[in-house]
Amino acid sequence: MPKDTGKTATFTIDGATHEFPVYSGTLGPDVVDIGKLYAKADVFTFDPGYTSTGSCESKITFIDGEKGELLYRGYPIEQLAEKSHYLEVCYLLLYGELPTKAQMDDFETRVTKHTMLHEQMRNFYSGFRRDAHPMAVVCGVVGAMSAFYHDSTDINDPWQREVATIRLIAKLPTIVAWAFKYAAGQPFVYPRNDLTYAENFLHMCFSVPAETYEVNPILAKAMDRIFTLHADHEQNASTSTVRLAGSSGANPFACIAAGVACLWGPAHGGANQACLEMLREIGTVDQIPTYIKKAKDKDDPFRLMGFGHRVYKNFDPRAKVMKESADEVLGLLGIENNETLAVAKELERIALEDEYFVEKKLYPNVDFYSGIILEAMGFPTSMFTPIFALSRTVGWISQWKEMMEESGRIGRPRQLYTGPTQRDYADVDAR
């Protein structure tokens, strides 16, 4: 429960004054509870983009954008990226505490036992065009899970909610890897339970029946880190979408499919693909000034993809860790000197010094570096956002689970209507 601070916020309109309670959480700014504003004062708040609106109470993830701090259940992301691993982070996000050895073993076993897809789901893939964007395929197949796993769609049954949670975390790598294989025209590769979560994903993406595939441990570590760094990010657009869908009582598979759809946009998870494509479009270092000029031009819609963030106004702590991983992976693969990388490094240098970017606090975000790593690993750009979706599934489902464990009302924002006032229908020959 939020703590009542005893303070009130006063709102005056048309000579009448109304008071609203102020609550504080454990971290972050206080909030004014304006739930009764409309009833008391007959006005709505107006906050397009929700820059000043807290939509829910949550105990999962905290971001301090000014300090560049990201905590999962209180633990700094840098510590988790260094010392933990993705499945442990999943456990932490879902259940609130780091697991004991026995709890971890049990969780890992439960996830591992659910990695296969219902065999009939294979057929679902062949309904898509081979050139379909894998995000379209992933969105469709995740949504279709509700047609295959009826025994975990009763949202009022805590056990079914738990089974759906495990199924989503376990099956997303298989769904995403199969979207990749389908686009590549290669046979689907089944999951292997002797591999770790990240190793298994790489195995399902890159192994072929014709030869043995050894997972490189450095690549597996980098993959695991990408999963960890993207695991949750409090009430961003896709998470809010999942919560809003869930508030209507929709089943968890439908809610996560809604999250996948929202993540796809280039201002959100689609930025990793857009960033790599932008680096390729810039092409050579000498072209950078032209693009910096475009980014600053108010009349040009071009933005430097992979830069800026709604919340981080100092630096993106995920980007710092991701940069280290990028250096490690590129070093291992011996590709420190390619042109795209040279453009990325120079762009980063210029943007960090340029007055426009410094003044607006536009730092490289997580997507700036993740795309570089994923490309080096051999993923096409179209796979970047599906990998983000697979990583974020645990965050979405943790937030959904938290919401379902509390009694809540359907999410229903209001609006400032500026359309026509009431008018009478005119027959077609009178228009």
Regarding 309 and contact with ligand CMC (CB under 6 A), the answer is yes
Q: Where are the alpha helices (DSSP H) in 3-57?
A: 37-41
Catalytic residue among 133, 233, 309, 316, which?
A: 309
Shortest distance, position 49 Cβ to ligand CMC, whole Å:
6
φ, ψ of residue 129 to 5 degrees: the values are: -65, 150
Site size toward ligand CMC (CB under 6 A) is 20
Q: How far apart, in whole angstroms, are the C-alpha atoms of residue 354 and residue 343?
A: 16
302 Cβ contact list (under 8 Å, min separation 6)? 291, 294, 295
201/388 with CB nearer ligand CMC: 388
Q: Judged by CB under 6 A, which stretch of 121-129, 158-166, 174-182, 361-369 contacts ligand CMC?
A: 361-369
Residues between 228 and 267 with contacts to ligand CMC, criterion CB under 6 A? 233, 236, 267
Q: Catalytic annotation on 85? A: no
Smallest distance, ligand CMC to C-beta of residue 362, A: 5
Q: Is 135 in the site for ligand CMC (CB under 6 A)?
A: no
Contacts 24+ apart (CB under 8 A), 220-225: 220/196, 222/325, 222/328, 222/329, 222/373, 222/377, 223/198, 223/377, 224/85, 224/86, 224/196, 224/197, 224/198, 225/81, 225/321, 225/322, 225/325
Q: Is 233 a catalytic residue?
A: no
Of 42, 367, 424, 427, catalytic: 367
Among 176, 250, 276, 295, binds ligand CMC (CB under 6 A): 295
CA dist., res. 372 & res. 375, Å (int): 5
Q: For the stretch 26-58, what's the b/e string if a residue is b when 16 or more beta carbons lie within 10 angstroms of its beta carbon? A: eeeeebbebeebeeebeeeeeeeeeeeebebeb
Q: Are 276 and 337 in contact (CB under 8 A)?
A: no
Residue nearest to ligand CMC (CB): 308
Name which of 367 and 402 has its Cβ closer to ligand CMC.
367
Interface segment toward ligand CMC; rule CB under 6 A; list 30-38, 125-133, 192-200, 300-308: 300-308
Closer residue to ligand CMC (CB): 201 or 307: 307
Give the residue, chosen from 140, 191, 252, 306, that forms a contact with ligand CMC under the rule CB under 6 A: 306
Furthest C-alpha separation in the chain: 79
Rounded least distance, CB 358 to ligand CMC, Å: 12
Please report, as ranges, the residues that interact with ligand CMC according to CB under 6 A. Answer: 233, 236, 267-269, 271, 295, 303-310, 360, 362, 365-367
Residues carrying an active site annotation? 309, 367
